[in-house]
Each structure stands twice: as structure tokens, then as C-alpha cells.
Amino acid sequence: MSNGSSSGTRTDFISVPVELASRSYVVEIGANLLDQTGSRLRQLGLEGRVALITDENVDRHYGPQVTTSLARAGYESSCYPIPAGEASKALATVEQVCDSMARDGFDRSAIVLALGGGVVGDLAGFVAGVYYRGLKLVQLPTTVMAQVDSAVGGKTAVNLPAGKNLVGVFHQPTFVLADTVTLQTLGRREWNEGFAEVIKYGVIRSPELLVKLAQDPLPDLAGVVRECVQIKAGIVAADEHETSGLRALLNFGHTLGHAIEAVAGYGSFFHGEAIALGMRAAAYLSQRHTGLSPEEVAQLDALLRRFSLPRTLASGFKPEALLRHAFADKKFVSGRIRFVLTPRFGEAFVSEQVTSNDLLDAVSYLQAT
Ligand SMILES: NC(=O)c1ccc[n+]([C@@H]2O[C@H](COP(=O)([O-])OP(=O)(O)OC[C@H]3O[C@@H](n4cnc5c(N)ncnc54)[C@H](O)[C@@H]3O)[C@@H](O)[C@H]2O)c1
Ligand SMILES: [Zn+2]
């Protein structure tokens, strides 16, 4: 991490490197950075026409600002706004966007800019991964979720009717620019759900971050984003394609979280809300199996409350349905699941101690308290 200079027209920013040999890149984080999109692309030596992919909400807020910045730096650009929401993360949208780009004459020299939350980032990342067998990609994340998580690490995907994120490619961006001012226009629920992922980083790697998050109002938003990006960058650099198991730590709270999301029907819970419940269950199982202290369990509960995240699951949820989904996720090996536990905040690891009965108990815990 280094502090960017404030020379010339640049405002202060923080730069976090993601070390991936020839595919290394930096994530720049700070306030009012979007206006400098064009000039940063020039400084980085990126040449080509720009395909700006965004969603209709984000386009209204920030599309013109980015387009103007690109034009000032001499870039020709075309904007492709998709409807906001998870339903756009589909092969049909990939086809529409790629077809429009082809009609507009984009070839393999194009640069894709993804301006928006995780939906835009995943969709545009996938388009950049497959159009002409791969284009340069720049992520301009505008949600907490995207800035701390989805814009970094190179996972892209779209959904199938059969399930989420089933079609995708690894495609690392060339550059990520996270303007924290954009987070001010997020709805309250979108803001809060992003903090479920921030809490996740604290639980797996940084008890200090959890202490910072308890402060109200939150001090140093850019610093919080930086810490999450540093943690993710470190994990991704060590296990880019999720082969050693390290990257699986990022799934803390996600085994039951994903199951809850799917069983409730996508859209009922926001991703971060379902993850909040999954993290509470994972803390319960961490206490049982690895001795996570009751104080730490209470600390997690207090943070979920602070960000108005759900802590209990309605009794209507059938535990068996949740388990079936977790099984279908293929993380079970002979009755046991690869499940992220932590004996203390900051020391998470992938365990094979968790059984399906444990999961049933964890669901009862969410339904009883
Ligand atoms: N690739 C990865 O590693 C990874 C990691 C985590 C999540 N994801 C994916 O991310 C997606 C969720 O992302 P998300 O939570 O950002 O949702 P999202 O992209 O749907 O954004 C949420 C809502 O906020 C609006 N919005 C975005 N930025 C805004 C702003 N600055 N001001 C006002 N409104 C704004 C959007 O239009 C949308 O309606 C899921 O599809 C999930 O699978 C991917
Ligand atoms: Zn997540």
C-alpha cells in the first residue's frame, strides 16, 4: 500500500497492489476519483475505444461523469446500460451487450469499463473475458460489496436458471478505481448488506477491523475499503484459482448463506443479508468445534445489529431444504463439509469437522434466537 501523490489535478488516493506476476494490477481507493477515470487510463498507457457497461441506476448517477472524463482524455466511448438487478446477470444479457458492441465495431483492441455494483462487474467482466477471446477490463465499483469484494480477484460469472454463477471465467482487471463518494447514493439496505462482507474480512483476518466497524459514525471509509482489499488481494495472490484452499476462506458464512439465499428465492434476501445469517451460524459452529469465545460471538451479533443485518431465520424455512442445497453445492465429502471456522477472530481456516447434523443444529440456532 502506498499513498498516492496529490500533485497536479489528482486528489488523494490509496493504492493497493494485487500481485499476480504478469497480471498484477493496482486498486486505487479514494474520494472523487471517477472524474479522473480518463486521465488514469492514459497514464496507465491503455489505448483503444471504450465500451462502458453499467446499469440504468448507476448510469443516471455517474454515467455522464465517466463519459465526460473519458472524452477529456481523448477516449471515444459507447455506453451499454443494462437493467439494474440480478436478473441481468444472464447469458441473454451477455449476448445483447456483445452483439451491440460488434455492431458498433468494437474489436479486440476495445477496453471494457464496468461501472456499477457486483452485477455489472460480474457481467461486464464475463463479457471482457469472452468477447474476441478477451479484452482489457477496468472495474469502477460503486457499491460497498463491489469495492471490498467483487471488483477484485478476477472471478466473473453469469447465472443459469439452474443456479447462480454457473457460467464464468477468471479474468483479472487491468485496473480498479474505487471512488468512495459514489457510496453516498446507495440505498440504506444496499449500504448495510455490503458491510456483511466487510465484517467477514474482519472475522477471517482482522480483529482490528471489527473494532473499527463498531464505531458510529464509521471513521475512515476509504481506510476500511483498503483493509478489505488488502486482505482479499493477499488471499487471491496466494491462491488465484482456488486450488490450495486458501481462497475458500472468503467463503466464511457463505455455505449456509448461499443455501438461505437460494431457498428463500433469489431477491428475497440481499446476498449480504443471507451471508449475515450464515456468519452467525458459522460463529455458533466455531464456538462448538474450535472454542470461539462467547464474547466474540456476542461481538459479531452486535456488529450485525449495528448494520441492521438479519440475525434470525423465520421458522418457515425447512432445515432439510437448506441442507439439500448445501449438499448440492458439492462441498460435502462423505457426510462432512468443507466449512470455514475460526477459533479466534483473525484465524479462520477450512475445517472438515462439520457434519450435516451440525448444520441442522446451526439452523435451529438461527430459528430459535
Ligand atoms: N465476482 C466476485 O468475486 C463476487 C463477489 C461477491 C459478490 N458478487 C456478485 O455481486 C452481485 C451483488 O453485487 P451488489 O451487491 O453490488 O449488487 P448490484 O450490482 O445489484 O447493486 C445493488 C443495487 O444498487 C444500485 N447501485 C449500484 N451502485 C450505486 C450507487 N453508487 N448509487 C446508487 N445506486 C447504486 C444498483 O443499480 C442495484 O440496484 C451478486 O451477483 C454476487 O454474485 C461477485
Ligand atoms: Zn459474498
pLDDT 10s digits, 266-283: 778 999 999 999 999 999
Is residue 5 scored above 60 in pLDDT? no
Cα angle, residue 158 at apex, residues 155 and 162 outer, rounded to 5°: 120
Distances (CA, A) of 293 to 1, 91, 196, 286, 344: 33, 45, 20, 9, 7
Chain centroid, CA 44 distance in Å: 24
Measured from the CB, is residue 144 less than 6 Å from ligand 1? Answer: no
What would the pLDDT profile of 283-315 be if each residue is shown by its tens digit?
999 999 999 999 999 999 999 999 999 999 999
Q: Is the peptide bond before 217 cis (omega within 30 degrees of 0)?
A: yes
Q: Is 200 an annotated catalytic residue?
A: no
Please say whether the beta carbons of 55 and 81 come within 8 A: yes
Using one digit for the tens of pLDDT, what is the confidence trace for 314-340?
999 999 999 998 877 655 556 678 899
Which element (helix H / strand E) includes 353? strand 349-355
Closest CA to 253 of 209, 198, 291: 198
Among 357, 213, 239, 226, smallest CA distance to 289 is for: 357
For the chain, the average pLDDT equals: 94
Residue 62 CA: nearest ligand 1 atom is 31
Cβ atoms within 10 Å of 238's Cβ, excluding its own: 11
Q: Is the pLDDT of residue 164 over 90?
A: no
Active site residue 251: yes
Mean pLDDT along residues 129-157: 98
Distance from residue 271's CA to the centre of ligand 1 (Å): 9
Nearest-CA residue for ligand 1 atom 9 is 118
Residue 34 beta carbon below 6 angstroms from any ligand 1 atom: no
- Cβ–ligand 1 contact at 310 (below 6 Å): no
Distance in angstroms (rounded) separating the CA atoms of residues 50 and 78: 6
- How does 32-69 read in b/e, with b if 16+ C-beta sit within 10 Å? ebbbbbbbbbbeeebebbbbbbbbebbbebbbeebbeb
> How far is residue 303's CA from residue 286's CA, in Å, rounded to a whole number?
17
Cα of 225 from ligand 1 centre, angstroms = 15
- At 347, is the secondary structure helix, strand, or coil? coil
If you ran DSSP here, which 8-state letter would residue 109 be given? T
- Cβ contact 69:36 at 8 Å: yes
Q: Please name the amino acid found at residue 286.
A: S
Alpha helix segments (H runs only) across 104-220: 118-130, 144-145, 188-205, 207-213
How far away, in angstroms, is 247 Cα from ligand 1 center? 21
Q: What is the pLDDT of residue 231?
A: 98
Residue among 59, 145, 200, 242 whose CB has most ligand 1 atoms within 8 A, to mutate? 145
CB-ligand 1 contact for 182 (6 Å cutoff): yes
Fill in the amino acid letter for 83.
P
Q: Which three cell numbers stand for residue 288?
A: 462448538
Is 49 a residue whose pLDDT tops 70?
yes
Q: How far apart are CA 113 and CA 37, in angstroms?
A: 10
CA of 197 to the centre of ligand 2 (A): 6
197 is annotated as an active-site residue = yes
Distance CA(13)–CA(40), nearest Å, equals 12
Contacts of 287 (CB under 8 A, 6+ apart): 293, 294, 297
Q: pTM of the prediction?
A: 0.95
Beta-carbon contacts of 8 under 8 Å, excluding residues fewer than 6 positions away, are none
Percent of the chain with pLDDT over 90: 88
pLDDT tens column, 61-110: 999 999 999 999 999 999 999 999 999 999 999 999 999 999 999 999 99
